[in-house]
Amino acid sequence: MESRTDLNTLMEHVLHTAGEHNLWVPHDTIIVAVSGGPDSVALLHVLHQISNRYIPLRLICAHVHHGLRAESDQEAELVRSLAQQLNLPFEMVRIDVPSYMKESGKGFEEAARDKRYAFLHETAQRHGAASIALAHHADDQAETVLLHLLRGSGLGGLKGMKIKRREKNVELIRPFLRIYKTDIMNICRQNGYAYAIDSSNLSNQYRRNAIRLDVLPFLGQYNGHIRQSLVQLADIAGAEDDYMEQAADHVYHDLVQHKDGGLHFQTPSFLALHVALQRRLIKLILNYLSAGIEIADFHKIELIRQGIVQNKSTTWSLDIGGGLACIREYDMILFMHKPTEQSKSYTYELQTAVPELFIPEIGKRLKVKMQPPHDRYFSNMAGACAEAVFDADELIFPLTLRSRLPGDTMKVMGLNGSKKVKDIFIDAKIPPSIRSRIPVLVDGSGNMIWIPGVRRSIHAAVGTQTTAVLHMCLEETETVEHL
């Protein structure tokens, strides 16, 4: 807005903003946060005028008494009198910021904000309010953008505060966010609105105050419209950030799949994305898995992205923090909660060809049956699927089905000599997350004869002289115990 304005012009501007962003509907209950300063006092007056002349609204005046300054009692009384003058309900709470700082370990500004918003939300819930109106204005927006910029923010921070944002089932609305401080002060002076001056706003010991008192005036020497430029940046960044959020959401639904409580996608589809969408997709996945707890900073996202893009290793695992891990298994990228314990070891001995054996540790069942020889077995001797056939007369009992051990080797059919099971898994591109659920079958002489679904050994191969065939099949049970 231009600095020259009056109450009617300001109300028109607020009504235009409200219509553009759907800030309220007739008869909404709105909690108005009033500190007693010129911004919040003007906001209460303007909303009261709008309610009387344009759209009926139920306004509740809410004040937080911090009790930290000598003027706090006077400010509380000023706001109480204002609510009485406008015939509005008045709600007030006294908060103990120092005690909460000790309890939470937070700094003053963050602790005070937490307690302030907790009261506003509680008041909104009690009154069944649709929204909480806050008096942040364009100068506050400029300070916020610059503060985020100095912290090294991306688009999400450069967009600053939103005019409307949902939090805890209530809308936080900022009807003054496009109005500058000078216009608000003019309204207060022209209409004789009484307000308080917070002396702590003149101290640059708080970072936001330092931005307002020192940094912005310094930058103003090089750009006389620095505040307007920052607010414009917030508008542009906000629109583009919203667009990117939508694009990332579309990509997420197109590429990401659910698996055992985790999320995964294929690397070729990821590499086809623009770098901006790659970062957004990783951030979106981390936000989903962390249940809204902010763990996705730029460096963490970029570390994951570079690991996918560089393709230096076919498998790797990265501890993301927050109990999450990112795992690469060949062409699959998996984000999951880290397991609380390692897979259990197990050993099951088969003295004879039992019809069925259940392995609860991996949620699988081994089915065994004796059959006469048949031509189809000769094409399946490599055991590429999770079934295999053996010459029953050549098998040495007892057979042992067990979990894999370090150093395990097998004489693979079609290969001279022995090969480590670990290398067999790698050659077959078996993802590490699956390997722990693949057992091995060992005969009575200690020879490894079968890795279900992967390879079988040279032992007890079915041939033309075979008179009895032992058929084994390892299958999933209906319910799998996740370890």
Q: Which residues sit in the known binding site?
A: 35-40
Residue 404 and residue 22: Cα distance in Å, rounded?
62
Pairing of β 90-94 and β 58-65:
parallel
The partner residues of 262 in beta bridges, in order of sequence, read 259
Residue 26 and residue 349: Cα distance in Å, rounded?
76
Label each residue of 21-83 as H, E or C.
HCCCCCCCEEEEECCCCHHHHHHHHHHHHHHHHCCCCEEEEEEEECCCCCCHHHHHHHHHHHH
Residue 419 and residue 163: Cα distance in Å, rounded?
65
Q: Which parts are annotated binding residues for ATP?
A: 35-40
| DSSP label of 344 | P
Task: Tell me which residue of 384, 381, 404 sits closest to 394, measured CA to CA.
Answer: 381
Cis geometry, peptide bond prior to residue 398 (ω within 30 degrees of 0): yes
Task: Tell me which residue of 468, 442, 451 sits closest to 382, measured CA to CA.
Answer: 451
Q: Which residues contact 139 (CB under 8 A, 6 or more apart)?
A: 180, 181, 212, 227
Residue 275 and residue 283: Cα distance in Å, rounded?
12
Helix, strand, coil shares, percent, the chain, to 5: 40, 20, 35
Pairing of β 170-173 and β 164-167:
antiparallel
Task: Tell me which residue of 91, 81, 19 sits closest to 50, measured CA to CA.
Answer: 19
Task: Tell me which residue of 185, 218, 193, 214 sits closest to 202, measured CA to CA.
Answer: 214
